[in-house]
Chain A
Amino acid sequence: MRKRSDVVRMLEERVLLLDGAYGTEFMKRGYEEVPELLNLKAPNVVYEVHRSYVESGADIILTNTFGATPMKLKKHGLDVDLERIVRSAVQIARKAADDRLVFGDLGPTGELPYPLGTATFDDYYENFKETARIMVEEGVDGIILETFSDLLELKAAVLAVRDVSKDVFLVAQMTFDEKGRSLTGTDPLTFAVTFEDLDVDALGINCSLGPDEMVPIFQELSQHTEKFLVVEPNAGRPIVVDGKTVYPLTPEVFSVHIDTFYESGVNVFGGCCGTTPEHIRLFRKVMGERRPLKRKRRKLFAVTSPSKIVRFDHFVVIGERINPSGRKKLWEKMLEKDEKVIVEEGKQQVERGAEVLDVNFGIESMVDTGYVKRVVQSLPYVVGVPLSLDVQDLRLAEEALRVYPGRPLFNSSKVEEKELEQKVGLLKRYGGVLVVLLMGKDVPKTFEERKEYLERALNILKTLGFEDRVIFDPGVLPLGADGRPLEVLKTVRHISERGFLTTLGLSNLSFGLPNRTYLNSAFLVLALNEGLSSAIANPLDEILMNTLRSALVLLGRGELPRVEVKGDEIVEVIVSGNEEKLKKIVEDFLKEKDPLSVVEEVLRPAMERVGKMYDEGKIFLPQLILAAQTVKPIFDRLSDLLPKSETGEAFVIATVKGDVHDIGKNIVASVIRSNGYRVVDLGKDVDTSVIVETVEKEKPIALGLSAMMTTTVVRIREVVDELRRRNLTVPVIVGGASLNEKLAKELGADFYAKNASEAVRILKELKGGK
């Protein structure tokens, strides 16, 4: 058995090649029974298939144990043979492998988790632990968990393997459909964020799709994890030929995709269903000897459920109502182990704007642990959103975190070394984000006291290597008990300025007082103004929620719930490229307004809304281009109707000397034109003198320069110097693939625009400043 660190070292050196399919190879040889049984009945056949992959150039071969777990074998009445099957499988693979790596292969049980099915976390855990134990005893070099379609089952398998051995290399893989979702709704981003916390070495995707369809899903995964990456596409989608299932991709067609996966950061490449030794032979040749490419993870702060990821890049409402404190009926239902009432409470809150649900079980010693586990496992599947596990008892918290299907919030830990250590320990093992309550044995009253707690917390968290997985709660105390809300607000500001996220248990403030809604709402607004990032609050409180929405608008935090563009007819017409209909709309406006008003009050604002939709990712670049293209002839027509003095400010644009890349420049010109500016497009590879002379003549609102290559960006400096030499003070906006904000400034430009809509925004600001 190779150590985990040995396999890691190999993967740091080069991209490894995994083997192909086994089932189809057994069938080719006339064996159609349960594949795992062949480890006992026909070990020579299993050996032969392994050898074919070794001889084709595979670096890693998988044991013939995909279905060799108690739950799966039981379906065939073979569970009694588990031990013999698994031991034999590893021994055969080892004998065939020469010096190649042997990974123990484990597939899912085929049972859905409760409440979608009946399987509990513990069922899964015990199932995988048994097989993993035998594999490790037999000396596998790694274990690969593949083709999982549910987050919880995969998490249970990971924890089971890790409880068997901390020193075995571990790969966790999911399978996704063409829409990038697993059977129980997980997407690759949620998969990456959830498993980044867990002690696995590599994440991957296999089965269900051919290489072409798998590329974007793999790329999404690769951008959000620092773990090694494995991919095993099928040899295309299966088709039926003469009554037999055939995977259509030839080795030649399949191998065309290797470069794309390589460029996306793959560390282990292989094939799933339909992949044959002939495929692997060609993969070996095409793959050659490549060092892995370095990737950079896009960091994001988020919590997850199986089907939803909630990022804290906007204000997040954490629903507070699953809490029996002061709610006798709910408490009684909890004692009766009623799950329906929890689901109803959850659904109502989500419908009213909660993105995360806080779950508190009241007096924890009185609540059945099995009930807590069932609620924590099932609620995210039924209601969809992630949970904030508001559990204080450490033992119960561990049970809850263990069975939670995703990356939860864990609410909370006080700033006491031992408590923080224990709770961080749980989150390192089971995954999740910690709410740190800024109090210890004493409850702080003042900002200074809270600040001290923050420093203490940060010191401890730094030692634990956990400071990037926390949200701080300054601790709101009831007004009636000397709550001092202004001290809390100061603390929120201080934490936000330090770059950390914050939350508050909002309703504590008004505990025991009349007019709670108004007090809570007013305090929330004040806290928002100090930078509050989330609140544990009551989303059923309409006044509170409407106040929150309004305050977010007023503060310009842009975190209003997404509003669809339904009803914005002109934008719909523009984005869909319907020029005829746009003409008709404009003609109708012209009956009531003069041409200048139609430009300034109708078309230009409409294009601004289109630009905003593009910035927010609601429409894509081709739609922005089509919109600009559609509006341009209408603007041209309206310009003809205007006196020359009113035809809009000029904007001069050019690609600098030596650069012949003008697609980006063309798009920027087009979008700017469609926003009502008179664009003077000088084209590409333009001499500095021509650019400067045109600026002198046209007196534009700004000059746009495009340069794509590192060798041509220096021409920007030449243009700027020449402009300044002639005392031309026109603002210079630059853009292009090799540029960035810093370089633009170094070259003397006034603005850097990363895309067309940003250029429009800059022009609008310049216009406003005139």
Chain B
Amino acid sequence: MSKVELDPREIEIPKNVLKARLGFGRVREIPPAFEKYVREAYEELLEVATPVVFWEDFEAKSEDGKISFDGLELSGKLVEAHLLGSKLVTVFLATLGEGVDEKIEEHFARGEDLMGFFLDGIASEMVEYALRRVDATLRTQRPHLLGGFRVSPGYVDLPLELNERIVKMFEGQVDVRVVQGSYVLVPRKTITAFLGWRERDAKEI
């Protein structure tokens, strides 16, 4: 198992991604009247977020439309499109920690809905970009392997129940829980994913 703790200040979220996430998708710039709130929310997030990304590689075998690794057997449309045929599968878990949830709740409890909303949106992007950063680093460190598209439980037909299994993989390393029955992750700014790798052809190296 590998782990990297990231300085939240070093996680770059593209400003247009942020703009869209915060509800300003149809304007070119965040209106000046709101910039101050966004800046404040960002600063607060930098104070409370503790981004950490865990991952582990597993040898994988594909057969009859299914891919298996570490006792898991996955199938379905998403698996067929992005994981099937991979020799290796990396399982990821990224989280910003409990402090972010607490801060968001504080804002809503105080009636500062806009700050709560902004903090929530920025945090959602921050955890995604933390994971992307590690993903990109792994790809550059593995010149003989070609990484596919990262897929997450809950999307298309990949069951959300897999969250339980992933959390178990990193048990004892990180304080992430799964809500029973719904498989929602807590802290809320936590994401999981699978990434499949195949050997490059000689000419692709």
Contact with B along A621-642 (1 / 0, CB 8 A): 1110110110011000000000
Task: List the B side residues contacting A626 at CB < 8 Å.
Answer: 34, 114
8 Å CB contact of A290 from B19, B149, B184, B186: B149
Contact A712–B117 (Cβ < 8 Å): no
Q: How far is the CA of A211 from the CA of B16 in the complex (A)?
A: 10
Query: Smallest CB–CB gap between A181 and chain B, Å?
Result: 10
Q: How far is the CA of A315 from the CA of B113 in the complex (A)?
A: 38
Q: Does B173 contact A (CB under 8 A)?
A: no
Q: How far is the CA of A69 from the CA of B162 in the complex (A)?
A: 57
Q: Does A685 contact B (CB under 8 A)?
A: yes
Contact A666–B108 (Cβ < 8 Å): yes
Q: How far is the CA of A657 from the CA of B112 in the complex (A)?
A: 25
8 Å CB contact of B33 from A262, A290, A576, A625: A576
Q: Does A215 contact B (CB under 8 A)?
A: yes
Chain B, 4-20, CB within 8 A of any chain A CB: 12, 14-17, 19-20
Task: List the B side residues contacting A666 at CB < 8 Å.
Answer: 108, 113, 116-117
Tally of chain A residues near chain B (CB < 8 A): 52
Q: Does A710 contact B (CB under 8 A)?
A: yes
Contact A711–B136 (Cβ < 8 Å): no
Known: A256-B12, A622-B22, A658-B179. A629 touches B113 (CB 8 A): yes
Contact A663–B117 (Cβ < 8 Å): yes
Contact A667–B184 (Cβ < 8 Å): no
Task: List the A side residues contacting B24 at CB < 8 Å.
Answer: 620, 622
Contact with A along B176-191 (1 / 0, CB 8 A): 0001111110101000
Q: Does A259 contact B (CB under 8 A)?
A: yes
Task: List the A side residues contacting B23 at CB < 8 Å.
Answer: 620-622
Q: How far is the CA of A661 from the CA of B160 in the complex (A)?
A: 15
Task: List the A side residues contacting B146 at CB < 8 Å.
Answer: 288-289
8 Å CB contact of A661 from B112, B133, B136, B188: B188
Q: How far is the CA of A212 from the CA of B23 in the complex (A)?
A: 17
Known: A179-B28, A663-B117. A286 touches B111 (CB 8 A): no
Query: Smallest CB–CB gap between B108 and chain A, Å?
Result: 5
Q: Does A282 contact B (CB under 8 A)?
A: yes
Query: Smallest CB–CB gap between A351 and chain B, Å?
Result: 27
Task: List the A side residues contacting B129 at CB < 8 Å.
Answer: 256
Q: How far is the CA of A660 from the CA of B12 in the complex (A)?
A: 27
Task: List the A side residues contacting B118 at CB < 8 Å.
Answer: 622
8 Å CB contact of A629 from B111, B143, B148: B111
Contact A215–B14 (Cβ < 8 Å): yes
Known: A577-B33, A661-B188. A622 touches B181 (CB 8 A): no
8 A-B pairs with least C-beta separation:
A621-B23, A658-B182, A288-B147, A212-B14, A711-B182, A712-B182, A658-B181, A285-B139
Listed in ascending order, the chain A residues whose CB lies under 8 Å from chain B are 57, 178-180, 211-213, 215-216, 252-253, 255-257, 259-260, 262, 282, 285-286, 288-291, 576-577, 617, 620-623, 625-626, 628-629, 632-633, 657-663, 666-667, 670, 685, 709-712
- A-B contacts, 16 of them at CB < 8 A, read A212-B16, A215-B17, A260-B14, A286-B147, A290-B82, A290-B148, A291-B149, A620-B23, A622-B23, A625-B113, A625-B114, A658-B182, A666-B108, A709-B154, A711-B184, A712-B182
* Supplied contacts A213-B16, A215-B14, A216-B28, 5 more A-B pairs, CB within 8 Å: A212-B16, A620-B23, A629-B114, A658-B181, A709-B160
